[in-house]
Amino acid sequence: MPRFFHDTVEGIRMARTALRANPLRSSLTMLGIIIGIVTVTLMSAFLTGLTNMFHETTSFMGTDVYYINKFSWAGHDWRSQMNRPNVTLDEFRELRDRMTTAKAVSVSAQQGNENVKYGANEVVGVQVVGIGPQYDVTSSVEIADGRLFGQQELVSARPVCVIGHDLWQNLFHGANPIGKQIRVGGYSLEIVGVAKQVGGMFGQFSIDQQVVVPLQTLFNAFGQPDRTLTIAVKAKNVLQKEDTKAEADYLMRVIRKLKPSQQDNFGINSEDEFNDMFDNLTRVLKIIGLTITGLSLLVGGIGIMNIMFVGVKERTREIGIRKAVGARRRMVLSQFLSEAAMLCLLAGSVGLLLAYAGSVYVNTHVLTDSSAVHLQFTLGLIVSGLLISLAIGVVSGIIPAWRASKLDPVEALRYE
């Protein structure tokens, strides 16, 4: 082991001397690795930021909440799902009364593409959500100003509403909206609360851009023809959520009188399924992206191998002299492997510095604080970049180094 360590240190020292002797050639050789590391690192930083942002913004769904709906989020045959029966209020009431492992069961309905007006200000294409009791338990909606509905308001279908943060900004421009009247699709509603901003990727589809009203108020304002509902079932605790899902599935099958041989004609969806769908998508994107950007690393590796062959050719007499005075094969092998590894590590370090500077510039000048995605330059990316660079150096240098170590000293000394 001491001898191996000594040979390695000696090889690194000689490799450093060889690199300093040809700075221009070394710089041009490193260019391919630098470009490859920059592109791979920036792409990975973007996908990391995208994934983290996605999981952060889906957290409003709740990891222990299941959404029973007409559609399955992970389903592919949407045409057949269109023929499924709607989820009804009677099914909600029966499920709520029979559930034993749920902390709360709530119901909601949606009305899309409505215009919301306040004075001269108007926002188009707004989704209106009607909610029932216990919605505040099954959802993670937080109230920034005002309050959510009371039990009496839910039962009596009062014309009251809670608006999202973005709607508040667009309609009131930061002014106090509590107690003000807005018109939603021609229906007058009094604002009793403003929801806390969710933001992120789903800001356009979350409560930020929604008007929340009591469920019966939604029916009174927009009617109930062919409307399907969404039942939210929250488990008593996260450890029991699979039991809650199994019980909800069983009871819905019983309520709909499905035979054992029949498939579910409803969907039980959760945040986990949504995240799994996205993770599968980003996994494919990573494979495609790394394959494309990895081509530059392949070109860089070929350049390293080529320059190492040139180096072996130029130093053939030097190798012969070293062997003639007692240098062993592993010493020669160590020298050229160290040279290739140092060349790639240096290129990788430069590439990582450029990628970091690029990510800082993009986050600061291209993307704003309100942007959904930011490049995330993590310690893992730095370590991965250096390891990739080292691996390329070893792989690219192994054949030239092996050829150098096998040179016959007599033949090498005769080389002109």
Q: What is the pLDDT of residues 105-142, one digit of tens each?
A: 999 999 988 999 998 999 998 999 999 999 988 887 88
2: pLDDT strictly greater than 60 = no
CA angle at 32 for the pair 26 and 33, rounded to the nearest 5°: 85
| Same domain, residue pair 322 and 382 | yes
Residue 415 near residue 320, CB atoms below 8 Å = yes
Q: What domain range is 52 assigned to?
A: 2-57+276-414
Residue 5 has pLDDT above 60, yes or no: no
Residue 299 pLDDT greater than 90, yes or no: no
- At 211 the three-state DSSP class reads strand
Which pLDDT band, with edges at 50, 70 and 90, does 1 fall under? Answer: very low
Residues 302 and 330 in one domain: yes
408: left (phi over 0), alpha (psi -120 to 50) or beta: beta
Look up residue 81 and give its two tokens: 């799902």
| 330 contacts: CB under 8 Å, gap ≥ 6 | 4, 7, 405
Cα separation of 50 and 69, whole Å? 27
Is the predicted pLDDT of residue 4 greater than 50, yes or no?
no
For 316-359, the pLDDT digits (tens) are 777 777 777 777 777 777 777 887 888 888 888 999 999 999 88
Of residues 342 and 91, more confidence is placed in 91
Give pLDDT tens digits for 359-380.
888 888 777 655 567 788 888 8
Residue where a domain terminates, one of 265, 297, 330: 265
| Judgement on whether residues 359 and 294 belong to the same structural domain of the protein | yes
d(CA 229, CA 203): 22
Given this model, what pLDDT does residue 61 score?
Answer: 59
Name which of 52-61, 214-223, 308-317, 356-365 the model is least confident about. Answer: 52-61
pLDDT at 159 (0 to 100): 94
Q: DSSP characters for 323-370? A: HHTT--HHHHHHHHHHHHHHHHHHHHHHHHHHHHHHHHHIIIIIS-TT
What pLDDT does residue 107 have? 94
Q: Is residue 65 part of a domain?
A: no
Write the burial class of residue 338 (CB in 10 Å: 0-12 exposed, 13-18 middle, 19+ buried): buried
C-alpha–C-alpha distance, residues 350 and 230, integer Å: 53
Residue 190 bridge partners (DSSP): 160, 181
283 and 337, same domain (yes or no): yes
What does the H/E/C string look like for 172-207?
HCCCCCCCCEEEECCEEEEEEEEECCCCHHHCCCCH
If asked whether residues 260 and 280 sit together in one domain, one would say no
Asked whether residue 270 is assigned to any structural domain, the reply reads: no
Q: Is 3 or 253 the better-scoring residue by pLDDT?
A: 253
pLDDT of residue 27: 74
Q: Is 233 helix (H, G, I), strand (E, B) or coil?
A: strand
Which pLDDT score, from 0 to 100, does residue 398 have? 87
47 and 91 fall within a common domain:
no
CB of 104 within 8 A of CB of 193? no
- The residue ranking higher by pLDDT, 194 or 272, is 194
Residue 172 contacts residue 180 (beta carbons within 8 Å):
yes
pLDDT at 83 over 90: no
Predicted confidence at residue 193, as pLDDT, reads: 94
What rounded mean pLDDT belongs to the chain? 83
For the residues 288-298, what does the mean pLDDT come to? Answer: 80
Q: What is the DSSP string of 108-169?
A: EEEEEEEEEEETTEEEEEEEEEEE-TTHHHHS---EEEE----HHHHHHT-SEEEE-HHHHH
Number of domains in the chain: 2
Q: What is the mean pLDDT of residues 172-176?
A: 91
What's the whole-model pTM score? 0.67
Max avg pLDDT among 87-96, 200-209, 274-283, 385-394: 87-96
Q: Are residues 221 and 249 in the same domain?
A: yes
Do residues 237 and 356 both lie within one domain? no
